[in-house]
Chain A
Amino acid sequence: MDFSLTVKEKAKKEEFEAFFREEMKNAPPEYGNGGLEGIYAEPEGFAFHQSMARKLGERGWISMAWPEEYGGRNASIMEQVIFDEVRGYYNAPGIDPFAADMFAPTLIAGATEEQKKRLLPPIARGEAFYCQGWSEPDAGSDLASLTTTAIRDGSDYVVNGQKTWTTGGHRAEYMFLLARTDAESERSRGLSVFHLRMDLPGIRIRPLNYMDGKHLYNEVFFDNVRIPASDLIGEKGNGWALTRQTMNFERSGAGGFSGSKRVLEEIIDFARNTKRDGQSIAKDPGSRRKIVEMFIDSEVGQTLAYQIAWMQQSGNNSGLITAASQSKLFSSELALRMADYATEMMGLYGQVETSAWSPLNGSMVELYQFGKSGTIYAGSNEIQRNLIAWTGLGLPRLKTGK
C-alpha cells in the first residue's frame, strides 16, 4: 500500500494551487459561495465561469486526461484527481459540469471522427457551454420511459416534447439531448443522442426556480425543432448505451471531498472565534462532537476518492461502478449533514442568508437548501443504493411494472 504522490505530482499540485489561489481573488460578489448556484444564478457568475474556463483551456487543464488527437495530454488519472482536489478546495468554476464532465466523455466514447474533431476542441478551449437534456416530467429516475421524439425528415431530425430540471439551460449555448428517434420504440430501445444549439427556432425555456428563489433549473419545450442529421451523435438508436456510459463516467469525487475539507476549516475557524453565552463555541461539547464527526467523515471521503482514482488507474472497472455510486452517496449526504451541523452551531444566525449578519457569508444556510438537491440529482441516492445492491452485491432485481 502506497498513498504517496510522486515528485512530479507534488509539483503539479503546487502549480494548480498557485493558479486557483490567485484567480479566485477575481471572483465577483455575484459568484457568491460558488457551486452550481454561483455559476448559473446570476449573469456575472456565469461570466466568471466562462472566463475561468478559457484560462483553464489555455493551460490544457480541461482536457488533460483526453487522448492527444482531440486536444488532450493523456495526463495520468492522479494528475486529474489532484486537479479536481485543488479546484474543489478553492471552490472554483471553469470546468463546465455538462460540457467537460459529461458530454466530452460521451463524445470520446461514441461520436464519429468528424464529430469528435468538430465538437471536442471548443470544449477543451473552454469556449463551449452545455446543458443536459435528459429528464422529463414523467421520466426522472426511470429515464428510459422518456417520450420526447426526434423524427427524421429529409436531412434533419424534428424534435417535439419537453425536458425538465435543465440546469443552466438559460445560460448554456448548447444542449446534449436524449430523444426517441423511433416513435414506436419502447424503453431503452430507439433512443439517440443529439448536439444542438439552444437558440434554434421552436425552443422555449421556462424558469423552474429553486426553493430559495434562485434561477438554476429550467423546463425546455421543443416544438418542431429541426436539428441537422449530422448532429446525431454516433449511431442512430445507440443513445441508451452512450447515456449509460456517461452515467458511469464518474470522476473520483475528489473535488467534492476537498470542498468539504475547506468548509470544515471555515466551520472550525467560526467555532474558535465565536462566543455564545460567554463561552467559545469550540468549547461546547455538542459542537466539538459535531466538528469531529465532520472531520472523520471528510477524511474517510477523501480516501474514497483516492481509492476511486486507483481503481481508474488500475482498470478495476467493476469496482469502479460501485465506488462511484458510494462516492455520490457519501459526498452528497456529508455536504447536507455539514450544512445542518454548521447551521445548528450558529444558532439563531443559522437562518441568516448572505448579508452583514450571516456567518461564513451565508454559505452554510445556502448549502442547507441547495445541498438538498445533491441527494436527488445525478441519480437519486435511492437509485445509487439500488446500483450498489445490484452491481456491487449481486442482489436480484425484481420485476417491476416496466
Chain B
Amino acid sequence: MDLTYTTEQAMLRKSAAEFISKECPFDSVKEIEESEEGYSASTWKKMAKLGWMELYFPEKYGGLGDPFVNITILMEEMGKRAFPSPFFSTVIMGGLILLEGGSEEQKKKLIPKLISGSLILALAHHEEDAGYSPSSISARAVSFENGYRLIGSKLFAMDANIAVFLIVSALTDEGISLFLVDSAKQGIECRKMPTIGKDNTCAVTFKDVHLTKDDMIGRPGDGWLILEKVMPRAILAKCAEMLGGCETALKMAITYAKQRVQYGVPIGGFQVIQHYLADMKTAFDTTLYYYHRVAWMIEEGLECTREISALKARVNKVYKHVTDRSIQIHGGIGTTREFNVGLFYRRAKSSESMLGDSEYHYERIAEQLGL
C-alpha cells in the first residue's frame, strides 16, 4: 500500500493550481458564465500549450501515454476554482469515446487536433425523456444512399454551442450507433438551455443531416456499449471535479468561521458551527479517500461497476451537503452573486445528474448486489 501521489503528479497539480488561479479568478468565472461562448478561447489555447490535452492519449496519436489518473488531478484543480471550459466534453468524454470506438483513421485525424487545442468536441446524447437507459434514445439515423440521414432532438448536450464536432447517439437498424457530426453541417440548430450551472448545456436539433458511413464511431449498433465502456473513467473525472469544488466550499467555510465575529468571538468557536464543520470535513475526507481507491481500481483494470456507482452517488450527496452547510455558515453574504460560495452550491446541483443521478447509480448497485 502506498497512498501518496508521485512527485510528478504533485508538480502537475501545483502548476495547474497556479495557472487556473492566475488565468481565471472567480470574477472571470462569473464573466464567462454570462457570456454566450461559456469559455475563454485564449485560455483554452494556453491549456493546449501547457500540454493538458495530451496527457493520457497514447504516444502514437501524439499523446504522452500518462496514466488516466493524471488527468483527474487537472479536473480536481479545475473543480476547485469552478473553472469553466470544454475540457471534460472534449478531452475526457470526446477523447475516451474516440479511443474506445474510433477507427484508426478517425483517431489519427482527430486526436492530434484535439491535443493542439483546435478541436472542441461535444456529446449530444440525452433526449426529451432524460433517462439514462437505451430506451431514452429516439433520434434516428436512417440509411440513405451510401450513408445516413440524421433526424432527432438532443437535450443537455454540454458545449455543443462551441463544438467543431458533435458526437451523436442515434438509432440505426442495428441499434444505437454513434456518429461524428460536423457542427457546421446543414440542418443543425443549437440553442443554450438556461441551467443552474450557467454552463454550456445545449438543445440541439438535427433535421435531415446528411452523414456518410465513415462518420460513424465504432460499428453499427455499438454505440451504447462504447458509452458504457467509457463511463467509469468519465465518472471518475467528473467526481474529481466535483470533489475539487467541494473542497473549496469547505475551506471557504472554515476560513469564514475563523474570521467572522459575533457576540464578541469568532463564530467558529460555537459548537454548532464546529459540529457542522466537523461533519463536512468528515464527509469530504472520507469521500476523497474512497475516490482514491476507486481511481486505483480503474487504473489497475479491476472490476468496479459497483464502486464507480457508489462513488458518484456518494459524491453527489456530499457535494450538496457541504455546499449547503457552507452557505449556512456564511449567512446572508453566502447567498450573493458577489460572494463565491454560490458558484459551488449551483455546480453541486448541475453535476448531480450528469453521468447518472443518484437514483440511477443506486439501482445499478442494487442489481450488482443481486437484489
Contacts and interface: CB of A to CB of B under 8 A. Distances in A.
A303 B289 contact: yes
Interface in A295-322: 295-296, 299-301, 303-304, 306-307, 309-310, 313-314, 322
B314 A300 contact: yes
A313 B292 CA distance: 18
A301 B5 contact: no
A292 B3 contact: no
Main secondary structure of the interface of B (DSSP, over half): helix
Interface stretch (B204-212, B269-277, B333-341): B269-277
A2 interface: yes
A291 B3 contact: no
Main secondary structure of the interface of A (DSSP, over half): helix
Interface string B330-369: 0000000000000000000000000000000011011001
Contacts of A392: 278, 281
A288 B358 CA distance: 13
Contacts of B363: 288
Nearest to A265: B369
Interface string B276-308: 011101100111011011011101100000110
A5 B3 CA distance: 12
Interface in A372-390: 382, 384-386, 388-390
**Could you say which of A1, A2, A268, A329 has the most chain B C-beta atoms within 10 Å of its C-beta?**
A1
B371 A3 contact: no
A289 B254 CA distance: 33
Contacts of A384: 278
Given A78-B1, A329-B282, A392-B278, A304 B289 contact: yes
Given A3-B3, A292-B366, A385 B278 contact: yes
Given A392-B281, A395-B257, A307 B289 contact: yes
Interface string A8-19: 000000000000
B282 A330 contact: yes
A272 interface: yes
B194 interface: no
A25 interface: no
A342 to B, nearest CB: 14
A26 interface: no
B4 interface: yes
Interface residues of B, number: 47
A394 to B, nearest CB: 8
Contacts of B271: 382, 385-386
A304 B275 CA distance: 20
Interface string B42-54: 0000000000000
Given A3-B3, A268-B370, A300 B286 contact: yes
A393 B277 contact: yes
Given A292-B366, A395-B274, A1 B286 contact: no
Contacts of B371: 268, 271-272, 282-283, 288, 291
B306 A1 contact: no
Contact of B313 (A291, A296, A306): A296
A150 B286 CA distance: 43
Interface residues of A, number: 48
A232 B363 CA distance: 58
Given A272-B370, A310-B1, A326-B286, A396 B278 contact: no
B139 interface: no
A355 interface: no
Contact of B275 (A1, A310, A382, A396): A382
B369 A389 contact: no
A88 B266 CA distance: 42
B299 to A, nearest CB: 8
Contacts of B292: 1, 3, 303
A329 B282 CA distance: 9
A107 to B, nearest CB: 29
Interface in A336-391: 382, 384-386, 388-390
Contacts of A100: none
Nearest to A268: B369
Closest 10 CB pairs of A and B: A389-B274, A388-B278, A385-B278, A398-B269, A395-B268, A310-B3, A282-B371, A396-B269, A307-B289, A296-B310
Given A322-B281, A382-B275, 18 more contacts: A1-B299, A3-B1, A3-B297, A288-B363, A288-B366, A291-B371, A292-B369, A299-B307, A304-B285, A310-B2, A329-B278, A330-B286, A385-B279, A386-B271, A388-B281, A393-B254, A394-B254, A394-B258
Interface of B: 1-5, 69, 254, 257-258, 265-266, 268-271, 273-275, 277-279, 281-282, 285-287, 289-290, 292-293, 295-297, 299-300, 306-307, 310, 313-314, 362-363, 365-366, 369-371
6 contacts: A2-B296, A292-B365, A300-B290, A300-B310, A385-B274, A389-B278
